[in-house]
Structure 1
Amino acid sequence: MTASYGTRTTPPRCHKNLFHSCRFVGIFLMTLVILLPTSSDACDDPPRYESMMLKDVSKDLYLPGDQIEFKCRLGFKPIIPLLPTTAICQSDNTWTPLQEACTRKSCPQLADPSNGQVNGTFLFGSEVHFVCNEGYELVGTKILYCEISENNVAWSGDPPQCEKIMCQPPGDIPNGKHTSSHKDVFEYNEVVIYSCNPSGGPDEYSLVGESRLVCSGRDTWSSALPECKVVKCQFPVVKNGRLIAGFARKFYYNAQVVFECVQGFHLKGNSTIVCGANNEWQPKMPECIEGLKPTSPATSPVPRPTDSEHATPGDEPPKYLGGGIIALIVIVTVVGIALICCIVWIVLHKKKKRCVFLLRFFK
């Protein structure tokens, strides 16, 4: 055999389709390698609990056999008897189940304030409300919170107190006085009564405002101070009218009179008026207008024809039909009866002819 020199042998190459297949397999293997750390052969993140937290720093991956330990969160304490606080990543990639092993701590017990009450629970995260009995007011914070304080729990502030409501004297008024004026302090719901002094003149003072004041809060009275002053209204006169109540020689504050008009006139305005604090009648003086008082169209009676003088109001008069209408009804009735009779005679006549024909046919 003669060997041929100068010829080069080329290594076999993959067919084009085979080359693509090889590349696909390579990509698939690389994907498996990338996904390997996240395969199902690992536990999920550690479970979370309201009262517990991980004792150590959490890891990115937990494999079967790994163990984690929990401790109580701030504001919580272990339940007695102690419950398990350790969980293990099992072969089925789940954590051994745990239940809450901690419970809320309690803030120091709070007693009811003197003349008041405290409402709520004392556990961590809760709040309590303070209220006072009637006649007492709260001095301090109304609501306290049980919250974390360093490594323990404590109230957010000092408890308030209930102090008795008191008032300073309401004050003096010119030309007047009030009861218990010798006292320096007044208790809750205590009452003082104001009155006016004699005027020493031809007209008496009138007390304008509330005469009875009540201590309703700390240094708070139920209304403003009244006044003592002369309030006098002019003699009430209405042309074509007369007084029927409230007769007097002088008309002072809150005097009330009632008017009516003489015959042939009607009243325009209020029949009753009162002497006000501005020395004027309120509402304004009425008038007497000549003539009968007009009635509203909505309320005026509707005239109705009556059948006789014995008809009573509200009775509906009997309604009669006209002669032409009655005649028309009679004519329509007669024509209808005649038409019915004709129809009956025609039907019977046809039946009679049919019977004669049948008798001749069967003979």
Structure 2
Amino acid sequence: MIAAYVSHKAPPGRPESPLFTWCFAGMIFVALVLLLPIFSDACGDPPRFETMRLQGAPKPNYSPGETIHYECRLGFQPMAPPLPPSAVCQDDNTWSPLQEACTRKLCPNLGDPVNGQVNYVNGSTMFGSQAHYFCNEGFYMIGSRILYCEISGNNVIWGDNPPLCERILCATPRNITNGRITNYKDEYEYNEIVTYSCNPSDGPDEYSLVGESVLVCVDSDRWSSDSPQCKVVKCEYPVVEHGKMVSGFRKKFYYKSQVAFECNQGFYLHGSNTIVCGANSTWEPKIPMCTKAYPSPSDELQPEHFEDLGIILVINNPAL
């Protein structure tokens, strides 16, 4: 584009030459004539499409009457019935109307696996689709759970082989010392159970089963919990000074034995009034105490204190 006008003046004292002036004007006119078709009689860049690409390299501009041709991109194929894949540069310097003439290629239909199902995310097997696999209850998957329809050469295929759905089986859980497994088998199916029990003790104290007595086969070679233990769990006889046991009386306190306490009149409980014999032969929580001092706000408030607390609130409340 001619962006500036260049003027020429003769040196001072010398008259301008008419011939030079006309030559200079003629050069400007020729330049404008040569450049005019570039900016007025040409089509711009060819239109772009998702499914198609231009055949050959694009040109800077196209003259009216020129035709451009498109081909399908990888992963796409011509529509049926076919649509025109070309456009023409028109006299008004615009391209003739053109629409997508290609559609996505299809991957093979996979079908449901034995003991499972397949779900196509967008409802089809077109290029770019995903196939999600699920196994029926009681079966586990071997292979890829998600397959993608992707390009392979000039075609499209699933990116991996379909997975398999195998029956969930569990091996026999381990034997335990001083205990045994009921309904013993070499192999268990999904949701089958084993039950543990403890043997009679040869000593003065019985064995306690610590852990879950019933295990369920929940996944391939995986049980619902670890195997339990059979061992002697025995807590010391709980004594609370200035207090007494109100429930849970027995000679020996084995695993999960529970006792409850209350304090003598005039004494207040610090700690929990109920404790349980834990797996390590210790009371949980620790044995409480009964003292003359009233428990601090951080101590657990026991029901037997409500009456005394009510009396204290009445005395300390001047509005009553």
Q: 1:27 deviation in Å?
A: 7.2
Asked if residue 122 in structure 1 is aligned to residue 118 in structure 2, the reply is no
Report 1:1-363 matches (<5 A): 14-15=15-16, 25=25, 28-29=28-29, 32=32, 35-36=35-36, 38-120=38-120, 121-181=124-184, 183-290=185-292, 300-301=313-314, 302-304=316-318
Structure with the larger strand share: 2
1:55–1:196 distance in 2 versus 1, CA, 3 Å: same
Q: 1:125 deviation in Å?
A: 1.4
Inter-partner Cα distance in structure 1 for 2:158 and 2:295: 77
Inter-partner Cα distance in structure 1 for 2:213 and 2:46: 76
Q: 1:117 deviation in Å?
A: 1.4
Q: Which runs of 5+ in 1 are unaligned?
A: 1-11, 306-313, 315-363
1:288-322 Cα distance to aligned partner (Å, 9 max, x none): 1126667899x9344347xxxxxxxx6xxxxxxxx
| Mapped contact 1:264–1:291 kept (Cα < 8 A) | no
Q: 1:28 deviation in Å?
A: 4.0
| Mapped contact 1:264–1:292 kept (Cα < 8 A) | no
Inter-partner Cα distance in structure 1 for 2:293 and 2:57: 103
Whichever residue aligns with residue 317 of structure 2, its letter is P
Structure 2 counterpart SS, 1:300: helix
1:131–1:27 distance in 2 versus 1, CA, 3 Å: farther
* TM-score of the two chains, using structure 2 as the length reference: 0.83
Whichever residue aligns with residue 300 of structure 1, its letter is L
RMSD across aligned C-alpha pairs, in angstroms? Answer: 2.8
1:247-285 Cα distance to aligned partner (Å, 9 max, x none): 001110110000111122111111111111111111111
Q: Which runs of 5+ in 2 are unaligned?
A: 1-12, 299-308
Whichever residue aligns with residue 150 of structure 1, its letter is G
Whichever residue aligns with residue 132 of structure 1, its letter is C
Whichever residue aligns with residue 313 of structure 2, its letter is S
Inter-partner Cα distance in structure 2 for 1:291 and 1:41: 105
1:15-49 Cα distance to aligned partner (Å, 9 max, x none): 39x89977974774475267346222011122111
Inter-partner Cα distance in structure 2 for 1:190 and 1:34: 90
1:257–1:56 distance in 2 versus 1, CA, 3 Å: same
Structure 2 counterpart SS, 1:279: coil
Q: What is the aligned residue count?
A: 293
* TM-score of the two chains, using structure 1 as the length reference: 0.74
1:244–1:36 distance in 2 versus 1, CA, 3 Å: same
Whichever residue aligns with residue 273 of structure 1, its letter is I
Structure 2 counterpart SS, 1:199: coil
Structure 1 counterpart SS, 2:81: coil
| Mapped contact 2:44–2:60 kept (Cα < 8 A) | no
Inter-partner Cα distance in structure 1 for 2:19 and 2:283: 116
Q: 1:67 deviation in Å?
A: 1.4
| Mapped contact 1:196–1:228 kept (Cα < 8 A) | yes
1:180–1:20 distance in 2 versus 1, CA, 3 Å: farther
1:257–1:41 distance in 2 versus 1, CA, 3 Å: same
Q: Provide the identity percentage.
A: 55
Farther off after superposition, 164-173 or 75-84: 75-84
Q: 1:71 deviation in Å?
A: 2.0
| Mapped contact 1:177–1:196 kept (Cα < 8 A) | yes
Inter-partner Cα distance in structure 2 for 1:105 and 1:167: 44
Inter-partner Cα distance in structure 1 for 2:204 and 2:20: 128
Between structure 1 and structure 2, the one with the greater Rg is 1
1:42–1:252 distance in 2 versus 1, CA, 3 Å: same
Inter-partner Cα distance in structure 2 for 1:300 and 1:31: 107
Structure with the larger helix share: 1
1:250–1:110 distance in 2 versus 1, CA, 3 Å: same
Inter-partner Cα distance in structure 2 for 1:229 and 1:95: 89
Q: 1:243 deviation in Å?
A: 0.8
Q: 1:130 deviation in Å?
A: 0.9
| Mapped contact 1:132–1:138 kept (Cα < 8 A) | yes
**Larger RCO: Structure 1 or Structure 2 (Cα < 8 Å, ≥ 6 residues apart)?**
2
Residue 9 of structure 2 aligns with which residue? none
1:196-237 Cα distance to aligned partner (Å, 9 max, x none): 000111100001111121111111111111111111111111
Structure 1 counterpart SS, 2:313: coil
Inter-partner Cα distance in structure 2 for 1:140 and 1:34: 68
